[in-house]
Structure 1
Amino acid sequence: MPIPLLIPIVAAGAGATGYWWITSKAENKEPSFSSELLAVLQPLLIIIVILFGLRWLYQQGNSTAKKT
């Protein structure tokens, strides 16, 4: 099936799912201080959680090695 024949099918599918209606109602809101702060701190918080998880795994490995 040639590509130009697929365009009306894709357009009808996008219209039927409400994609155009939802995207046309998008509003640009002014970012708040808390949302900006969270966006800045999110990578740091993720790294801290990963480091605590790795530290916990390391301590679990050390405690089982000392028991045997």
Structure 2
Amino acid sequence: MVSMEYAFIRKSLTGVTGGKIAKAFMQYMIGSFAKGGYGFSATPTAWKSKSITMVNAIAADKSTASKTRLA
């Protein structure tokens, strides 16, 4: 999942301020799910599940970012 949203939130997950930005962005993403975006049904369970999945994927990617992002 390489997208503008993914890149933005992965980059934001640093420090307290970054955490607040990431949280606000996740709320925005949940709003997108509510409108039927990203192919997910508009149910709270789906939003929560996708949010957790996304955050976990970002955390895993972030742990190896320094290795994979080297030019």
Indicate the TM-score class for this superposition, using the shorter chain for normalisation. Answer: 0.3 to 0.5
If asked which structure has higher relative contact order (CA below 8 Å, sep 6+), I would say 2
* TM norm structure 1: 0.34
Q: Between Structure 1 and Structure 2, whose CA radius of gyration is higher?
A: 1
* TM norm structure 2: 0.33
